Amino acid sequence: MTDDAAAAWPPLALERLSAAVTVLAERAETQEARAQLHGLAGILRNLGGEHAGAHERETLHAELASALAAEDEARAVTAMRMLARLDRAVVRPVDWTAASGG
Amino acid sequence: MADPRPEVAAKLSDWLRARGEEVPVEVLERTTVGLSQETWLVRVGTADAVLRLPTPSSGARAILSQRQALDAVAGHPVCAPKLLWSDDTAENPFERPFIVMERIHGDVPVGWHHLAEAERLAVARESMDVLAALHEIDVEATPLAGSDPSPLMTLQGLIRLFERVAPLPPVLEAGLWWLVRHEPPAPQRRTIVHGDFRMGNMIVADGHLVGVLDWEMAAPGDPLVDVCWNFIPLWTLAEVDEPPLLDLYASRAGIEIDPEHVRWHRALGYARLSYYMMSGLRAFDRERSDDLRLAAFRLQLPVLLDRLAATIAGEPVT
């Protein structure tokens, strides 16, 4: 049995939903509505993605906390850099030009 | 909803009439629907002008400090709009302070990357000229002399602001820790600092920088705040070659710039942008705003923190 078969209704891909909201944004009449819908599209595209890489993140959190406690700057900067890279890597792009300008 | 423009025009007209100025006032449009200030494009007689009023969230101080700043820089080559009229009190038809300044025509690109490459370089160089001219003004001889810088412009101020939005992401905690450890000594030069000098607050026309807006954060401070904030990307990278521009500024200002101080101020800039994101997403989460873009700020936060970490690590920012 697949995950889909166990679902109460057919699952919806967030990427697909996000693309549809982007299309809707382009049809919105006001600049404000277009900007809001582009923002929503970005949120939908990333929904639930914040836990990606959780295990590696926990390890890096611990390493960073340890380095800060020891005031070991070189270790802290290395851990901070790796953690920041990991957190950024899981973000799917948001069209901020459209979201900020409509 | 009734068109508010006739009422705004009538109030400004009444105020002018009380001062003996009988001129027709027409309100063309409201340019922003935001939290910072009300901005109306108006025509007073034959002159195009801009009326700015405070909002409950900006407070009257935003208008008063802007009036002081425009007075302080008047006559200097810093592309500031000329102040036409102002009222620091609430004893007027608007029942709040206001300013009316000349309207400078042109585009307000939201980021440096919106300009074509050649235009971007030309405007970037002009922006450094403007900063050098601004920082040459004797701040002690201006109405801004006794002003305090915005907490957004100093590390200690930012740390206090971050306390309001704690807990902070670990990368940000570490970034602030690094900033504290490496804070440069107080600057030798105390100058007028614009405080939000960046594309988005600049008017560009025919390939040139013709206006600098939003002076409400201007205060005495470290000029490197402006110099480094100018190209810090909130969204998309500025795509300018910064070192020659810093050299240009240093040459115009007749100073030497320590690259380590520049790195520190850039890191401070990314921390400041991260605060914008955190306060915005908090406003959404706490139901103070239903603006979906504020909810989406949580997705830009990792981008800015990555840039903060790269800056601290001495790596290129992407």
pLDDT band at B289; cut points 50, 70, 90: confident
Predicted confidence at residue A2, as pLDDT, reads 52
Closest CA to A40 of A60, A15, A18, A72: A18
Name residue, tokens 């959780």. A54
Percent of chain B with pLDDT over 90: 88
Q: A93: nearest CA in chain B?
A: B299
Contact between residue B317 and residue B307 where contact means Cβ atoms under 8 Å apart: yes
Contact B300 A40 (CB under 8 A): no
- B1 vs B246 pLDDT, higher one: B246
Q: How far is CA B296 from the centre of its chain?
A: 22
Contact A36 B293 (CB under 8 A): yes
Q: Which residues of A touch B309 (CB under 8 A)?
A: 77, 80-81, 83-85
Predicted confidence at residue A97, as pLDDT, reads 86
Name residue, tokens 């909130």. B234
Nearest-Å Rg of the Cα atoms of chain A is: 19
B84 and A CB contact within 8 Å? no
B34 and A CB contact within 8 Å? no
Q: Which residues of B touch A36 (CB under 8 A)?
A: 291-293
Q: Which residues of B touch A77 (CB under 8 A)?
A: 174, 178, 309, 312-313
Contact B309 A83 (CB under 8 A): yes
Closest CA to B122 of B227, B250, B202, B208: B208
pLDDT band at B177; cut points 50, 70, 90: very high
Q: A46: nearest CA in chain B?
A: B299
Contact between residue B201 and residue B214 where contact means Cβ atoms under 8 Å apart: yes
Measured CA to CA, the distance from residue B297 to residue A12 in angstroms comes to: 24
Contact A80 B169 (CB under 8 A): no
Region for A48 from its dihedrals, namely left if φ exceeds 0, alpha if ψ lies in -120 to 50, beta otherwise: left
Extract the tokens encoding B149.
């810088």
Contact A96 B300 (CB under 8 A): yes
Q: What are phi and psi of B64, to 5 degrees?
A: -60, -45
Measured CA to CA, the distance from residue B123 to residue B204 in angstroms comes to: 8
Going along chain B from its start, the domains and CATH numbers come out as: 5-102 (3.30.200.20), 112-313 (3.90.1200.10)
pLDDT in tens, B20-70: 999 999 999 988 655 578 899 999 999 999 999 998 877 888 899 999 999
Contact between residue B300 and residue A96 where contact means Cβ atoms under 8 Å apart: yes
Q: Which residues of A touch B302 (CB under 8 A)?
A: 84, 87-88, 90-91
Residue B93, pLDDT above cutoff 80: yes
Predicted confidence at residue A7, as pLDDT, reads 80
Contact A87 B313 (CB under 8 A): no
Contact A64 B236 (CB under 8 A): no
A99 Cα to chain B: minimum distance (Å) = 7
A40 Cα to chain B: minimum distance (Å) = 6
Parts of chain A with a pLDDT under 70: 1-4, 102
ipTM of the shown complex: 0.90
Q: Per mean pLDDT, which of A26-30, B173-177, B255-259, B277-281 is the most reliable? A: B173-177
pLDDT band at B306; cut points 50, 70, 90: very high
pLDDT in tens, B113-171: 999 999 999 999 999 999 999 999 999 999 899 898 899 999 999 999 999 999 999 99
B167 and A CB contact within 8 Å? no
Predicted confidence at residue B131, as pLDDT, reads 98
Alpha helix segments (H runs only) across A28-95: 31-46, 54-69, 73-89
For helices B292-313 and B170-181, the axis angle rounded to 10 degrees is 50
Extract the tokens encoding B5.
């423009």
**CA distances (Å), B31 to each of A64, A78, B1, B36, B61, in order?**
45, 45, 17, 12, 21
Q: Which residues of A touch B30 (CB under 8 A)?
A: none
Measured CA to CA, the distance from residue B141 to residue B274 in angstroms comes to: 34
Predicted confidence at residue A1, as pLDDT, reads 47
B285 and A CB contact within 8 Å? no
A11 Cα to chain B: minimum distance (Å) = 23
B252 Cα to chain A: minimum distance (Å) = 33
To which H or E segment does residue B29 belong? strand B25-30
Contact A68 B174 (CB under 8 A): yes
Residue B218, pLDDT above cutoff 90: yes
Contact B312 A77 (CB under 8 A): yes
Residue B206, pLDDT above cutoff 50: yes
Residue B8, pLDDT above cutoff 70: yes
